[in-house]
Every structure is written in C-alpha cells, then in structure tokens.
Structure 1
Amino acid sequence: MIIVGAKGFAKEVLEIVHQNNELEGLAFFDDVNHDIPDLLFRKFPILKNEDEVREHFMKFGNNYTIGIGGPLLRKKMYDKFVKLSGNLNTIISKFSEIGSYGVEIGEGCNILSGAILANSVKLGKANIIYYNAIITHDVSTGDFVEISPGAKLLGRCAVGDFSSIGSSAVILPDVKVGRNVIVGAGAIVTKDLPDNCVAVGNPAKIISTNND
C-alpha cells in the first residue's frame, strides 16, 4: 500500500495501518517537499515521483490511501492516483466504534481512533473522521469532507462535498451544511449554511466567502 503524503496527517494514517497489521509493502508518496528523507522513521520508503509509484504498484499491488488533510488537496491527490490506476482504500482504526446497521462508508475514508459512527450514517468518498468525532443517526456527508477532532454531527444533519467541520464544532439536528463550507472550531451551527462560506461562533454566523 502507498500512503499519499509523508508528513502531518500521513503519520496519523500510518498508526491505523500499524494497528491493523498492514505494514507489508508499505510506502509513502511525496513529490512536493524536498526536505524529506528517503525513509520515513528510517523504515518506510518515500516515493518521490510517479515512475516510482508505478514500480511500487507493479511489485506490491495498486492499493493506496490519502494521508493528506484538506478536502481540495485530497481531491487533487485522488485525481492524480486515478490516472495511475490506483485502488483507493478505506482505513478504519480498530479503536473507533462503527454502528452495526445501515452504515455506508465511501471508498478512501480515514476513520481515526475514538471516532463514533451511529447506525444509519452515510459517509461519502475520502472523508476524514478525526479523533473522538461523533456522528449520530441518519447523518450524511458528501465527498472529501473533513470532520475535525471532537466535532459532533447530530441526527439527520448533512454536510456537503469539500466541507470542513472544525474541532469541537457541533452541527445540530436537521441542519444542512452546504458544499465547500468551513465551520470554525467550537462553532455551534443552528441553521442551514449555504455553499462556499465560512461560519464561526455560537450560534454560528457567516463571516466570509470561501473562494476555494
């Protein structure tokens, strides 16, 4: 398997892969940073161009997961690896809690330790569900959504593609968060939020447009 990225969030994903005993043939990919070594933690190869990725896929299979935070950057890496014929893998910590009924987890999600997903939760493609995030019944998220540590998504709320929910933020029941929205840390979202905005505070208020 290849973890896309070799800094920050990639190290969080590495821990899940370690917990799941899936280290055989593991490598990282980083073609942007020039200050990284050839081996991460003196053990795992860091691939630095697409030719090296192709060689690794030929030797170990074409599985990969995205170890980079940020919805739009994750989409960019997804598009790159589609062209390389990669097979996007979901990585779930064994220390998370996943409901037994009606849970749908899209390909490429990263679910970290302490995260809780209730029954009838639907996650889109390549979401990040960070430490101790709580997603309760009948919640849905779009593709490339980031749920930060300790955030809470409550019954029947929905979060659109490419949106990011800040640490310890709360989305109240039945609230709809649009596409490409940033919800600030600790915000309490009590009303629907339109696409392409930044909202902060309690109750959350829109403070700017998210031009990304």
Structure 2
Amino acid sequence: MKELQIYGSGGHSYAVIELVRSLAEYNPVHVIDDNPKVNSILNVPVYLTNEKFKSMPTVIGIGDNYARKSISKTIDAPFPSFVHVSAVVYPSASIGAGSVVFPNSVVDAAVSIGEFCVINNNATVSHNVKIDNFVHVAIQASIAGGVIVGEGTLIGAGSVILPEVKIGKWVIIGAGAIVTKDIPDNAVVYGNPAKIIKYINERK
C-alpha cells in the first residue's frame, strides 16, 4: 500500500482515517497538526507539522472549509480523493483532488464536485449539480438537480436545497433548512423556508 499522511488531528480525521483504511489502497502512516492535542488517532501517531511533514500523498482531515483552503495552499504534496465503497457515484460525475465522499452518499449523473470538498454520510447530490472547491455537504443533506454551490459553502445536516437554486460563496446553511431560492455570497440562512439571518465576513 502507498503511504499517506493526514493533516489535522480533530474529530473529522478519525472518520477520514477509517475511510482510507477501508479502501486498502493507502496506509495512513502519521497525522500532522500545527497544534496537536493527542499523541495518536486510531493507532496512527500524531506529530507537530514542522517535525514530520513530508511531500507524500496527503488528505486534509479537517471539516472546516476555510481551514482546508488555507492548508491546501501551504502544502506541496499530491492530494488524492477518497470515495467510500458504499457511496454511489455515477460514471459521469467528477470529483476533484483532495475531496472525500463518505458512506452511503449518492453523487448523481453529471455532477461536478470541486477540490477539497466533503460529502458526508448519507448526503444526496442530484444530477447536474455543480459544487465549487472547499464545500462541506453535511450528513443527510439533499441537493436537488441543477443546483450551483459556491466556494467554501457549508450545507448543514439534514438541509434540503430545491432544484435550480444558486448558492453563493462562503454561505452557511443551517441544519434542517429548506432552501427555496438563490442565496448571495457570505449569507447565513436558517429555517423553512430558509431566510437570511445575517452576513459573515468575506473569506478569500
């Protein structure tokens, strides 16, 4: 098996390590972190980033979209993508470098998923959806056909995005929200139907 390093020692890295191991193509040899709080994760040793970093295949085990973007710009390493064996990914779909698709998710026909995205457990991404880089689709979220999702957006657990909606960059969609119309950049929305609660500072 090929050696792999994981960046990040928080809770998300546990799920990433288990996913990688289940595919039996890469062996997670260590975890690196700028400020590690633990010595190992699932028997994988954790080191301070500048002590152990190597230019080997790397996956970023961090759920926060902005952190993934920042880290991706600092590491000169290949970033494979990982898809759990129970996920359904249609042949016409594409998944960008560094992205991770977790168990029981569905990525439908003609879907484009960008780089460093997270498609979490039991999420559904319907046909002809375009997801930009650094997006996190949380557990049991559902994105209907023809939706466009901008960079850095978080689609909360159990939320539903209705067909042909356009979601801007760095949007936060609250858990359980039902999104019925377009959402501008940097908006935070909650509810059914989802309404803008506030705006957050632009992230680049």
Q: TM class by shorter-chain length? A: over 0.9
Structure 2 residue corresponding to 1:76, chosen from 70, 73, 81 = 70
The residue aligned with 1:151 is: 141
CA displacement, residues 16-45 of structure 1 (integer Å, 9 cap, x when unaligned): 111111453521111213x311x323x312
Equivalent of 1:27, from 23, 26, 30? 30
Corresponding residue of 1:163: 153
d(CA) in 1 for partners of 2:17 and 2:27? 12
Aligned match of 2:186 in 196, 205, 211? 196
* Counterpart amino acid of residue 3 in structure 1: I
Amino acid at match of 1:202: N
Structure 1 distance, partners of 2:157, 2:127, is 20
Which position in structure 2 is the counterpart of 1:92? Answer: 83
Per the alignment, in what secondary structure is the counterpart of residue 27 of structure 2?
A: coil
Tell me by how many angstroms 1:136 deviates.
0.5
What TM-score, normalized to structure 2?
0.93
Aligned positions of 1:11-90 closer than 5 A: 11-24=14-27, 26-33=29-36, 35-37=37-39, 39-41=40-42, 43-54=43-54, 57=55, 62-81=56-75, 85-90=76-81
Aligned-residue identity in percent: 32
Matched, 1:205 2:199: no
TM-score, length-normalised on structure 1? 0.90
Two-structure CA RMSD over aligned residues (Å): 1.3
Offset at residue 49 of structure 1 (A)? 2.5
Q: Which has the higher helix share?
A: 1
Residue 139 and residue 25 in structure 1: after superposition, are their counterparts in 2 closer, same or farther (change >3 A)? closer
1:19 and 1:73 mapped to 2: Cα distance?
Answer: 25
Paired residues, what number? 199
Distance 1:177 1:25, change over 3 A: closer
Which residue does 1:129 correspond to in 2?
119
Unaligned runs of 5+ in 2: none
